[in-house]
Amino acid sequence: MQNMGFSCRIPCVKPLLNNRQRQKRLVWTKGWTAAEWSKVMFSDESKFCISFGNQGPRVWRKTGEAHNPRCLRSSVKFPQSVMVWGAMSSAGVGPLCFLRSKVNAAVYQEGLEHFMLPAADQLYGDADFIFQQDLAPAHSAKATSTWFKDPVLNWPANSPDLNPIENLWGIVKRKMRYARPKNAEELKATIRATWALITPEQCHRLIDSMPRRIAAVIQAKGAPTK
């Protein structure tokens, strides 16, 4: 197999898309320019844990020392975690909102009121913009749809590959790889400090990638993309 160019790797994890969802992604694709995408405020939630799985420093050890106490990294059964909501545009990022563990429509609307609207003022001022959210139950609830005065951007299901804010979450988590918060409050402080390091230039580059993301979906015939 190696001589034929194959190598054994852990599979990439992507959302499961059925044929109907792939077709909807293809129908959804927009021929917008990067300038048109700059009018969209992208949003998303992400979960942060005190334990970051396999991320973190490695250890130097000899054969037979795998279980030596100085070579171990402690884990806990139920690590403390926080759920964070954030928003971005080509002009930068908005303020973070730390949500309760159970995000229902009422909790989500409260976050929109106190964090999305100030983010819109900060990022767009008096200019028009389009709000993006995915199809999570709290987002697509009838009460949430009623809360919005203007329509939000139509969004295909199971499509994190189309949302540039996913890249920002990845950047934040990579920067926090070596952080060692001891409790939820220290974790929140670390997230805030790292989020504040995101530059408008980074956001602008991610928004500029939207036409390429759309092209990749078309080329993949609606399947998940890189």
Exposure string of 176-208, with b = 16+ CB inside 10 Å and e = fewer, is beebebeeeeebbebbeebbeebeeebbeebbb
Question: What's the chain's Rg over C-alpha atoms?
Answer: 20
The predicted structure's pLDDT at residue 3: 86
- pLDDT given at position 64: 83
Amino acid in position 205: R
> What whole-number distance in Å separates Cα of residue 210 and Cα of residue 133?
15
Q: How confident is the model at residue 12 (pLDDT cuts 50, 70, 90)?
A: confident
Summarised one tens digit per residue, pLDDT across range 103-151 is: 899 999 999 999 999 999 999 999 999 999 999 999 999 999 999 988 8
Q: pLDDT for 160-214, tens place per residue?
A: 999 999 999 999 999 998 888 989 999 999 999 999 999 999 999 999 999 999 9
Q: What is the pLDDT of residues 196-209, one digit of tens each?
A: 999 999 999 999 99
Distances (CA, A) of 38 to 149, 167, 216: 21, 16, 19
Percent pLDDT > 70 in the chain is 93
Beta strands in 17-103 (DSSP E): 40-49, 81-89, 92-93, 97-99
pLDDT at 83 over 70: yes
Characterize 5-30 residue by residue with b for buried, 16 or more Cβ atoms within 10 angstroms of its Cβ, and e for exposed: eeeeeeeeeeeebeeebbebbeebee
- Name the E strands within the chain: 40-49, 81-89, 92-93, 97-99, 130-131
Please report the domains of the chain, with CATH numbers, ordered by start residue: 31-51+77-219 (3.30.420.10)
Which one-letter amino acid corresponds to residue 161?
Answer: D
Task: Look at residue 14 in the predicted model and tell me its pLDDT.
Answer: 84
Contact 97, 108 (CB under 8 A): no
